[in-house]
Structure 1
Amino acid sequence: MSLQKKLLILGGDARYLEAIRLLANKGVDITLMGYDQLQFQQKNVKIVNPEYFSYSHLDGVLLPVGGTDLEGKVEATYSDKTIHLTKEMLIQTPEHCSVYTGAANKYLEKLTNQTNRKLTKIFQSEDIAIRNSIPTAEGALHVAIEKTDTTIHDAKVMIIGFGRVGMTLARLFSAVGATVQVTVRNKTAAAKAYEMGLQHVWISDLQKKIKDIDICLNTVPAPVLNKQVIANLKKDCVIIDLASAPGGTDFAFAKKQNIKAIHALGLPGKTAPKTAGKIIGEAMYELLDDKINS
């Protein structure tokens, strides 16, 4: 990677400070928007004003892990200014410029389609997603400890979704002594749960199997914790929803039922920003390196 590789980082949280440090040390030329409250010592890192910046030389645009909102606004922890990704910005970039994000909504997908720019979700890579599941799971355990008034040891835990994050959650909560059940949709997932020494519940049976659960952890970005399921929960059950917005929980109904429900977004950035930032930085370096060699 040479200094010729030019990356614009548009907004971001504490994770991105480590990602910036790592990428700068590897020689990437980094431009920042949404960091006007900070200063950086590396010569190949500069903070610019969106109004006076030329986008014509960029090889990539890195957005916050959460992407944009439905109007193009991005999270910018280190700025009081509102930062947007717009069509006017992207059409100024070279045709080979890619947009990198953690999550993408309809706005971002439409914008990249309209401007014919490649959109890459950095956590779609299996190895990156698995590595990122570790700080996510540790963050979820931290939330569970804070929001419950009993030990996690001996608690009855239901994990909805048995993908990358679900498996890591299951291992971690089992390791600290919880009785863990996981939801499955097929025989392969059921066999994997069995191999891990876990109890499994068919997702179609969730409503009747959730009655005695103390902690419910959701990883599915679909309305799985609906009114019918929530109505069967114990009143002292705690829901921790890790799914991307809008989550998989009917939060309004949970509140009406006096059931504690937390939408715990961005946990890696809150509980382990340095580790999570290193994961993002290394992933971005590989992606930019692949562009050179492709």
Structure 2
Amino acid sequence: MNRQTILLISDMRQVYLAEIMTKRGLNVRCLDIRNSGTVKEQIEKLKSFLAEADMLILPIPVTKIPEQKMLNDILNKNLTNDTLVLGGCFSTEQQELLERRDIHYLDFMKDEIVTEENAVATAEGVIAELVNHSPYNIEEAKIIVTGYGCCGRAVAARLKALGARVTVLARRREVRKLAKKDGFYAADFAFGPEEAMGAAMLVNTVPAPVVTGAIIRELPRDAYILDIASKPGGTDFACARECGIRADLALGLPGKYAPKESAYILDRAVERFVRKEHEM
């Protein structure tokens, strides 16, 4: 690539990613959107920068950019067809925009390798959040993990290694069988209220309303709920507040707890994507 890579910085992942890509010889131009007072000015610069861009890398999730309508308008009017676009959790509107313009793009969060590698950093971030906010030790604590995808598996495994008594809640029978094979007690969400009794912590990984009022009302008042699913999460936060139970939606844990490792994960994904595009 002989032109520019435009990188929007929303957290330390992108700071490290810019360093890594620059060392690889790419011409990286950064737009820092972390300051709410200057974010519009930074996004406005995209209008002129995109004309010279081989690649545009947006945050994870893309919704970290506060001016979504402004961003979408600029992308629609200023993106050229040969600019590759990368980011995390594109909105439906953004996906349709890119596909309508025949612009090739990668959603980092739909890349299987990124998802698997990111799950490790996410799980370690979960441990840090639980230690920081729960009044209980993890060892010997009864902890519910909802969902058993990449993140659910990684979280459950690390909690088990720390001595927790982990219960996995999952809808699909085959997923529960896998969790049981891995050494966990697993149950359907229908048994969630029963399993919630005596649980010190609950970690949700499902981006759907699965941590319902029926489950929350059976939790002890000093339980801690950590929701790491994409916005708006899968927890009835209003019910948690009514019950006096702390419930946090914690997004971007890799960027918070392992930003440099996360940057290397993203850089490898960029290289794979660019290589694939060149082979087409």
Same fold at TM > 0.5:
yes
Matched, 1:112 2:112: no
Equivalenced residue count is 274
Q: Distance in 1 between matches of 2:209 and 2:173?
A: 23
Residue deviations 1:178-237, cap 9 Å, x none?
A: 001112223321221122111101123223322221110000111111222211211111
Relative to structure 1, the CA distance from residue 186 to residue 97 in structure 2 (aligned partners, 3 Å threshold; closer, same or farther) is same
Q: What's the CA shift for 1:12?
A: 2.3
Q: Distance in 2 between matches of 1:113 and 1:293?
A: 20
Q: What is the aligned partner in structure 1 of residue 249 from structure 2? A: 263
Residue deviations 1:110-136, cap 9 Å, x none?
A: 432454433421121222111101111
Q: What is the aligned partner in structure 2 of residue 121 from structure 1? A: 107
Amino acid at match of 1:20: A
Q: Distance in 1 between matches of 2:145 and 2:60?
A: 23
Q: What is the aligned partner in structure 1 of residue 77 from structure 2? A: 91
Identity of aligned residues (%): 25
Matched, 1:132 2:118: yes
Q: What's the CA shift for 1:287?
A: 1.2
What SS does the corresponding residue of 1:56 show, helix, strand or coil?
Answer: helix
Gaps of 5+ in 2: 36-41
Q: What is the aligned partner in structure 1 of residue 8 from structure 2? A: 10
Q: What's the CA shift for 1:172?
A: 0.4
Q: Distance in 2 between matches of 1:231 and 1:200?
A: 20
What SS does the corresponding residue of 1:87 show, helix, strand or coil?
Answer: helix
Q: Check the 8 A contact 1:87/1:115 in 2, yes or no.
A: no
Relative to structure 1, the CA distance from residue 156 to residue 94 in structure 2 (aligned partners, 3 Å threshold; closer, same or farther) is same
Deviates more, 1:26-35 or 1:233-242: 26-35
* TM-score (ref. length: structure 1): 0.85
Q: What's the CA shift for 1:58?
A: 2.2
**Given the alignment, which residue of 157, 162, 168 partners 2:148?**
162
Relative to structure 1, the CA distance from residue 52 to residue 71 in structure 2 (aligned partners, 3 Å threshold; closer, same or farther) is closer
Amino acid at match of 2:236: D
**Given the alignment, which residue of 63, 71, 74 partners 1:68?**
63
Q: Distance in 1 between matches of 2:47 and 2:232?
A: 35
Q: Distance in 2 between matches of 1:26 and 1:257?
A: 52
Deviates more, 1:248-257 or 1:20-29: 20-29
Relative to structure 1, the CA distance from residue 182 to residue 51 in structure 2 (aligned partners, 3 Å threshold; closer, same or farther) is closer
* TM-score (ref. length: structure 2): 0.89
Q: Distance in 2 between matches of 1:143 and 1:53?
A: 41
Q: Check the 8 A contact 1:72/1:108 in 2, yes or no.
A: no
Amino acid at match of 2:114: I
Relative to structure 1, the CA distance from residue 19 to residue 73 in structure 2 (aligned partners, 3 Å threshold; closer, same or farther) is same
Amino acid at match of 2:23: N
Q: Distance in 2 between matches of 1:177 and 1:257?
A: 28
Q: Check the 8 A contact 1:155/1:179 in 2, yes or no.
A: yes
Residue deviations 1:40-88, cap 9 Å, x none?
A: xxxxxxx9970772422323211101112697449xxxxxxxxx52333
Residue deviations 1:88-113, cap 9 Å, x none?
A: 34432321323211112234234324
Residue deviations 1:224-270, cap 9 Å, x none?
A: 11222211211111100001111111112211110011111111111
- Richer in helix (by share): 2
Q: What is the aligned partner in structure 2 of residue 28 from structure 1? A: 26
Relative to structure 1, the CA distance from residue 36 to residue 255 in structure 2 (aligned partners, 3 Å threshold; closer, same or farther) is closer
Amino acid at match of 1:204: A
Q: What is the aligned partner in structure 1 of residue 189 from structure 2? A: 203
Matched, 1:254 2:240: yes
Matched, 1:174 2:160: yes
Q: What is the aligned partner in structure 2 of residue 41 from structure 1? A: none
Q: Check the 8 A contact 1:71/1:107 in 2, yes or no.
A: no
Relative to structure 1, the CA distance from residue 178 to residue 228 in structure 2 (aligned partners, 3 Å threshold; closer, same or farther) is same
Q: Distance in 2 between matches of 1:49 and 1:186?
A: 46
Amino acid at match of 1:8: I
Q: Distance in 1 between matches of 2:166 and 2:81?
A: 49
Q: What's the CA shift for 1:278?
A: 1.3
Q: What's the CA shift for 1:164?
A: 0.3
Deviates more, 1:206-215 or 1:149-158: 206-215
Relative to structure 1, the CA distance from residue 70 to residue 204 in structure 2 (aligned partners, 3 Å threshold; closer, same or farther) is farther
Matched, 1:243 2:241: no
Q: Check the 8 A contact 1:166/1:219 in 2, yes or no.
A: yes
Relative to structure 1, the CA distance from residue 70 to residue 13 in structure 2 (aligned partners, 3 Å threshold; closer, same or farther) is closer
Deviates more, 1:115-124 or 1:260-269: 115-124
